[in-house]
């Protein structure tokens, strides 16, 4: 056992200083966690695939979000320009981060591109005067409702069902 360590009493100056420092660090960690959780919530509303692709506990994704927040902005930028932008800001592994976010941007766009029913629903909402974000959220809500009905009824999804009129 070491004999050079001294006993700290609760009212000792060093013990008080340690308590102040540790409580300050705990407060800073709690503030950072709250900020990251608020950012995750906002990002989930705007760009859910990106929220799933990023680890917001790291600095690189946070730096990325200072410049790009929407899938359209990421797609317009392109891989090489995005990698250069990240590299100029000293982000670690800019190639891997750029690849991950561009894949998320493409996934975010898939339902309107690949599903005619989703495209028609989105276009109908746009023609009703809804902005893009409102129409996309309405489409997401509709898809969640369909998924819930499938789970509730224990059925698999079947596209292009023929609807019969009520007799």
Residues 163, 131: Cα–Cα separation, whole Å: 30
> Which residues, 6 or more positions from 139, have their beta carbon under 8 angstroms from its beta carbon?
111, 112, 118, 121, 122, 125
Asked if pLDDT for residue 31 goes beyond 90, the answer is yes
- Please tell me the predicted confidence (pLDDT) of residue 77: 93
Predicted pLDDT of residue 70: 82
The beta strand positions in the chain, using DSSP E, are none
Which domain, by its residues, includes 140? 116-153
6 in any annotated domain: no
Average pLDDT of the segment spanning 101-113:
79
Does residue 95 share a domain with residue 53?
A: yes
Alpha-carbon torsion (129, 135, 137, 143), positive or negative: positive
Three state DSSP letters for 100-134: HHHHHHHHHCHHHHHCHHHHHHHHHHHHCCCCHHH
Tell me, yes or no, whether 86 and 128 share the same domain.
no
Question: Is 102 in the same domain as 134?
Answer: no
pLDDT band at 161 (very low <50, low <70, confident <90, very high): low
Q: Measured between alpha carbons, how far is residue 16 from residues 5, 25, 141 in Å?
A: 17, 14, 53
| pLDDT at residue 113, as a whole number | 67
Return mean pLDDT, the chain.
85
Question: In the chain, how many domains are there?
Answer: 2
Q: Are 100 and 18 contained in the same domain?
A: yes
Measured CA to CA, the distance from residue 157 to residue 77 in angstroms comes to 35
Residue whose structure tokens are 């730096």: 63
pLDDT in tens, 45-56: 777 888 888 888
Q: What is the pLDDT, as a whole number, of residue 167?
A: 45
pLDDT at res. 109 = 66
Same domain, residue pair 63 and 103: yes
In this predicted structure, what is the pLDDT of residue 43? 81
86 shares its domain with 121: no
By three-state DSSP, how is residue 93 classified? coil
The reply to whether 79 and 138 lie within a common domain is: no
């Amino acid at each position: 056992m070491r004999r050079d360590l001294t006993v700290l009493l609760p009212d000792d100056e060093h013990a008080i200083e340690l308590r102040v420092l540790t409580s300050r660090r705990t407060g800073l960690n709690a503030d950072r966690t709250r900020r990251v959780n608020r950012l995750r919530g906002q990002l989930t509303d705007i760009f859910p695939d990106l929220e799933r692709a990023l680890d917001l506990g790291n600095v690189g994704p946070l730096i990325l979000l200072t410049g790009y927040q929407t899938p359209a902005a990421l797609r317009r930028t392109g891989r090489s320009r995005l990698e250069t932008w990240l590299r100029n800001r000293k982000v670690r592994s800019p190639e891997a981060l750029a690849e991950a976010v561009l894949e998320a941007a493409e996934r975010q766009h898939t339902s309107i591109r690949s599903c005619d029913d989703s495209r028609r629903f989105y276009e109908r909402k746009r023609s009703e005067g809804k902005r893009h974000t409102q129409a996309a959220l309405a489409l997401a809500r509709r898809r969640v409702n369909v998924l819930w009905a499938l789970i509730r009824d224990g059925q698999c999804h079947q596209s292009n069902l023929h609807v019969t009129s009520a007799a």
